[in-house]
Chains A and B, each alone.
Chain A
Amino acid sequence: MGFGRDSAIALAVLLVFILLEFTGLRSAGLVDFAIRFATFGLLALSLNLLIGSAGLVSFGHAAYFGMGAYSFGLLMQTGAWSVPAAILAAVAMTALLALVIGALCVRLSEIYFAFLTLAFQMLLHSLILSWIGLTGGDQGLMGGIPKPPFLGVDLARQDHLAAFSLFCLVASAVALRQILRSPFGAALRMLRDNPDRAAFLGLSVFRYRLAAFVIAGSFAGLAGVLMSLYVSGAFPSFAFWTTSGEAIFMIMLGGVSVFLGPLVGTAIFLMLNDWITAVTEHHGLFLGIILLIIVLGLRKGLLDFAVEHWRARRGNQP
């Protein structure tokens, strides 16, 4: 029942968007926003599988975002790959990277975990910068990424790319939500709540955390693919710590405990960012102040706050 309902909602969202996009307002702004929303929304949503459900605060999630973008870009530049095949391969390569890094990180707890994930991300970032022959160094992956059409989808057109990105987002959201609803998801929450008792009941802390790490990394890789399609290239900043930081901000803005929280946070973050950059050069300063107000004022994300408020009101009624 839950999975069917989620799929129906996802399909409806996608149809409404396509209707709006192709028959209604053909606005370049909407198309552009939709692509960025899908890309960063997926990144934040995947990170929240670790933070919100498994209780693992990773500071290095952008490593998988960057890995997805570079793998996809490099595969497409060979000219031998179709878009869907390259996407699958890029996600698989990202999963492999997450498996290796995760195996070394998930044994550690809290602050050590956070910093080791950050260290591996910066290692990848340095590797991208210094392996100029493959990655183009700090110039990024230049020369554009060929996007041969497949199944009537031409990703070189921004409107097609927007619909495709949104499709990837809603399909991933449905999949992630099913993961959270499954016995595996329950095991992750047990490990977050009380790892000692969970282990006592027979759960392998290592295996479950590693699986969550790989799943989250894979979806971040898909987000990276969307990013490289959007900018038709790949840049070292994708794997820089600021990208991880932005994803964490989005989650903090929207909320960790509600599934759609990170998506709400992404929308707010992107809109704030666009609006502030239009007004002032010092956008970091203003964005930081707004984040501080939300974090110190509400002490939780907006959607966390709204849902708790609504539950409390409903609970008070006789």
Chain B
Amino acid sequence: MSGRLELQGLRKSFGGVVATDDVTLGFEPGTLSAIIGPNGAGKTTLFHLITGKLPVTAGRVLLDGAEITGLDRREIVRRGIGRAFQVANLFPSFSVQDSLAAALMAHAGRTAGLFSTFPPPDVQRQAEEVMELCGLTHLSRTEARHLSHGDQKLLDIALALALNPKVLLLDEPTAGMGPDERWRMIERVYRLWEARKLTLIFIEHDMDIVFKIAQSVRVLRYGAVLAEGTPEEVRRNPAVVEAYLGAEHAL
């Protein structure tokens, strides 16, 4: 089973400011992990480093033992790391099914054709599969700009999922949602993870969600790893309680 992601001594500084400070973490294939930490802890920066959006200052990123540090970010996508964004990053005028078909074709390098009709039937079928998996089938003909906030986030995840990643990074999948919508979203994410058996890593602020579904939790603070372990271990870690969770979460 593939999809092992390892970060070794990862470091990123912007001038004098250290955003990521010697982060060494391992994510086993097929696991579901959460990354938590206060604002400015360097969570999103970590995703930028893994996906090649930002160059690393030092350290290595390994996917299934092969180094992917410093590769072009398209190449990193091709190697199997997918990513959904904190603010849905979509093609507003495309319907849900066309968005997915377009993503699939762009990824496969099949967008140069002038004489065929978009989307070809085989791609259409793949798009339908992804819509089914994400629960977007009933919205297939709705344009992305007309989707609700939650469905836009879901489509963003679906776009990443369409490329068949081994590792999927979700940056705050429930950001900006009401409590009910949050739980629906996170159930959806959980079912995706179960169905695809991929390595899923998500950033989340809602501790109830994190402790309910994550197999393991990594806590960042000031760009460095403060603690890691099962939700239960992290919850009991005195440093975490003091630094982040606050009194209302303690025990």
B-contacting residues of A (Cβ < 8 Å)? 2-3, 178-179, 181-187, 189-190, 192-194, 196-203, 208
B93 surroundings in chain A (CB, below 8 A): 189, 192-193
Q: Say yes or no: is B106 at the interface (Cβ < 8 Å to chain A).
A: yes
Instruction: Evaluate contact between A201 and B114: CB separation under 8 angstroms.
Output: no
Report the count of interface residues on B (CB-CB < 8 A). 31
Q: In the complex the two chains form, what is the Cα distance from A169 to B95 in whole Å? A: 30
Which residue of B78, B91, B112 is within 8 Å of A183 (Cβ)?
B112
Given contacts A189-B91, A189-B93, A194-B90, contact A203 B117 (CB under 8 A): no
Instruction: Evaluate contact between A197 and B89: CB separation under 8 angstroms.
Output: yes
Which residue of A3, A187, A196 is within 8 Å of B106 (Cβ)?
A187
B103 surroundings in chain A (CB, below 8 A): 201
Q: In the complex the two chains form, what is the Cα distance from A186 to B73 in whole Å? A: 22
Instruction: Evaluate contact between B98 and A199: CB separation under 8 angstroms.
Output: no
> In the complex, how many residue pairs between chain A and chain B have their CB atoms under 8 Å apart?
84
A184 surroundings in chain B (CB, below 8 A): 111-114
Q: Say yes or no: is B193 at the interface (Cβ < 8 Å to chain A).
A: no
Other A-B pairs beyond A187-B102, A202-B78, 7, CB < 8 Å: A178-B114, A181-B117, A181-B118, A185-B118, A190-B102, A197-B91, A201-B74
Q: How far is the CB of B109 from chain A (nearest CB, A)?
A: 6
A200 surroundings in chain B (CB, below 8 A): 73-74, 77
Instruction: Evaluate contact between B94 and A193: CB separation under 8 angstroms.
Output: yes
Which residue of A181, A185, A190 is within 8 Å of B91 (Cβ)?
A190
A198 surroundings in chain B (CB, below 8 A): 91, 106
Q: Say yes or no: is B40 at the interface (Cβ < 8 Å to chain A).
A: no
Instruction: Evaluate contact between B90 and A197: CB separation under 8 angstroms.
Output: yes
Q: In the complex the two chains form, what is the Cα distance from A197 to B94 in whole Å? A: 13
Q: In the complex the two chains form, what is the Cα distance from A203 to B103 in whole Å? A: 10
Given contacts A189-B94, A190-B106, A193-B94, contact A203 B115 (CB under 8 A): no
Q: Which of B151-169 contact A (CB under 8 A)?
A: 159, 163
Given contacts A178-B114, A196-B89, contact A186 B102 (CB under 8 A): yes
Selected A-B contacts with CB under 8 Å, 19 pairs: A2-B117, A182-B116, A183-B110, A183-B119, A184-B111, A184-B112, A184-B113, A186-B105, A186-B119, A189-B91, A192-B93, A193-B90, A194-B90, A196-B89, A198-B91, A199-B74, A200-B73, A200-B77, A201-B103
Q: Say yes or no: is B107 at the interface (Cβ < 8 Å to chain A).
A: yes
Q: In the complex the two chains form, what is the Cα distance from A196 to B51 in whole Å? A: 14
Q: Which of B69-115 contact A (CB under 8 A)?
A: 73-74, 77-78, 89-94, 98, 101-103, 105-107, 109-115
B107 surroundings in chain A (CB, below 8 A): 201-202
Instruction: Evaluate contact between A182 and B102: CB separation under 8 angstroms.
Output: no
A-contacting residues of B (Cβ < 8 Å)? 73-74, 77-78, 89-94, 98, 101-103, 105-107, 109-120, 159, 163
Q: In the complex the two chains form, what is the Cα distance from A192 to B90 in whole Å? A: 11
Q: In the complex the two chains form, what is the Cα distance from A182 to B111 in whole Å? A: 8
Q: How far is the CB of B240 from chain A (nearest CB, A)?
A: 34
Which residue of A182, A192, A197, A208 is within 8 Å of B118 (Cβ)?
A182
Instruction: Evaluate contact between B74 and A179: CB separation under 8 angstroms.
Output: no
Q: How far is the CB of A278 from chain B (nearest CB, A)?
A: 41
A194 surroundings in chain B (CB, below 8 A): 89-92
B109 surroundings in chain A (CB, below 8 A): 202
B101 surroundings in chain A (CB, below 8 A): 186
Q: Name the residue of chain B whose CB is nearest to the CB of A211.
A: B112
B78 surroundings in chain A (CB, below 8 A): 202
Q: How far is the CB of B196 from chain A (nearest CB, A)?
A: 19
B73 surroundings in chain A (CB, below 8 A): 200
Q: Name the residue of chain A whose CB is nearest to the CB of B117.
A: A181
Instruction: Evaluate contact between A186 and B98: CB separation under 8 angstroms.
Output: yes
